[in-house]
């Protein structure tokens, strides 16, 4: 038995109208499919907090700033439906592209501030695509709560700000990053790494941990970051796009964890771009 799939907004609205009439709390877990244990932990969180759970699967073309990435993104709808079956979610919404972007679609949801750092400048247009599609998914599902992983911490903040700014009545819930036994944060992109690549990629988490511990102990920012970058390159990463400390609340750049902070990284291994972040104990 696989979870039931709905492909049109009309069918989704017909289903959720009944839930709303009976006052049931609706949770949504937005995904682009290729589900892994990280996504399934969000589904579990939604199941325990809500009466009804919708999982959405939509590979959103607007958030890919590299055509290559969009083409290579794994599409595994049948396997995803099988993985969701044990969770007994109420519905999997897999909208046809014209249900999200009908002909003549001309709206763009664009934020400033939280998008000005890290993924923002490094992936032009990415957060416009995310904010636009997530706004649509919030409005289409009418969910009361939405569940996002902290692995994409900046995305979580973008979505939270967007919902607040647009008065969309949804609570955006952040859930902890799920990691492989090696420490590597779960990501659909890991599927594209070789065994060797996975070993190299696993160095990212301990590198962040070591640097975070050093910063919390009062070590200098420049030297700590340089050492962490060197360790990644020596371990086989081709490029470190950024490795930076930011405020957990505003995402403003910091050089010491004098307020709740997180250490963020984006780095390339075997031509795959990986991101991760961890909290840094306050000084």
Of 54, 134, 245, 269, the one binding ligand PAF (CB under 6 A) is 134
- 47, 57, 64, 177 from 84: Cα distances, Å: 12, 12, 25, 19
For 263, phi then psi, to 5°, come to: -100, 125
Q: Is the C-alpha dihedral spanning 111, 114, 115, 121 positive or negative?
A: positive
Using CB under 6 A as the binding rule, the residues of this chain from 71 to 130 that contact ligand PAF are 130
Minimum CB–partner distance for residue 120 and ligand PAF (Å): 14
Q: Which of 6, 89, 133, 203 is in the footprint of ligand PAF by CB under 6 A? A: 133
Smallest separation (angstroms) from ligand PAF to the CB of 23: 27
User: What is the rounded distance in angstroms from the CA atom of residue 27 to the CA atom of residue 4?
Assistant: 16
Q: 198, 138, 141: which is closest to 165 by C-alpha?
A: 138
Question: Is 63 a binder of ligand PAF (CB under 6 A)?
Answer: yes
Among 6, 9, 32, 114, binds ligand PAF (CB under 6 A): 32
Supply the minimum distance, in Å, between the C-beta of residue 211 and ligand PAF.
25
Q: What's the alpha-carbon Rg for the chain, to the nearest Å?
A: 19
Q: Cα separation of 77 and 58, whole Å?
A: 10
Task: List, in order, residues 6 or more apart from 86 with CB less than 8 Å away.
Answer: none
Smallest distance from the beta carbon of 136 to ligand PAF, in angstroms? 10
Residue 84 bridge partners (DSSP): none
Residue 108: phi and psi, rounded to 5, are -130, 130
Q: List, by residue number, the catalytic residues.
A: 39
Q: Which of 16, 41, 60, 141 binds ligand PAF (CB under 6 A)?
A: 60
Determine if 157 is a binding residue for ligand PAF (CB under 6 A).
no
- Looking at the Cβ atoms of 187 and 224, the one nearer to ligand PAF is 187
42 binds ligand PAF (CB under 6 A): no
Chosen residue from 16, 31, 187, 229 binding ligand PAF by CB under 6 A: 31
Q: With contact defined as beta carbons under 8 Å apart, do 107 and 136 qualify?
A: no
Least distance CB 246 / ligand PAF (angstroms): 19
Residue 237 tokens, joined: 């990463």
Between 93 and 205, CB nearer to ligand PAF: 93
Footprint on this chain of ligand PAF (rule: CB under 6 A) = 30-32, 60, 63, 130, 133-134, 152, 155
């Amino acid at each position: 038995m696989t979870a039931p799939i709905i492909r049109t907004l009309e069918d989704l609205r017909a289903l959720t109208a009944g839930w709303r009439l009976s006052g049931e709390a609706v949770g949504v877990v937005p995904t682009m499919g290729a589900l892994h244990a990280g996504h399934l932990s969000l589904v579990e969180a939604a199941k325990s907090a809500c009466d009804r759970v919708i999982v959405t699967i939509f590979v959103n073309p607007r958030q890919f700033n590299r055509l290559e990435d969009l083409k290579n993104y794994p599409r595994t709808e049948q396997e995803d439906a099988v993985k969701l079956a044990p969770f007994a979610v109420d519905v999997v919404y897999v909208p046809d592209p014209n249900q999200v972007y009908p002909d003549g679609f001309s709206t763009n949801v664009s934020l400033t501030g939280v998008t000005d750092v890290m993924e923002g400048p490094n992936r032009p247009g990415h957060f416009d695509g995310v904010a636009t599609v997530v706004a649509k998914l919030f409005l289409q599902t009418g969910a009361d709560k939405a569940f996002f992983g902290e692995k994409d911490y900046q995305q979580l903040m973008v979505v939270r700000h967007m919902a607040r700014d647009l008065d969309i009545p949804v609570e955006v819930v952040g859930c902890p990053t799920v990691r492989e036994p090696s420490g590597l944060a779960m990501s659909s992109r890991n599927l594209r790494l070789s065994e060797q690549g996975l070993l190299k990629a696993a160095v990212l988490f301990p590198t962040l941990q070591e640097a975070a511990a050093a910063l919390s102990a009062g070590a200098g920012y420049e030297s700590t970051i340089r050492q962490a970058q060197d360790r990644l390159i020596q371990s086989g990463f081709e490029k470190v796009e950024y490795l930076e400390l930011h405020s957990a609340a505003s995402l403003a750049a910091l050089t010491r964890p004098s307020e709740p902070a997180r250490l963020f990284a984006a780095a390339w291994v075997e031509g795959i771009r990986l991101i991760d972040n961890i909290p840094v104990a306050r000084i």
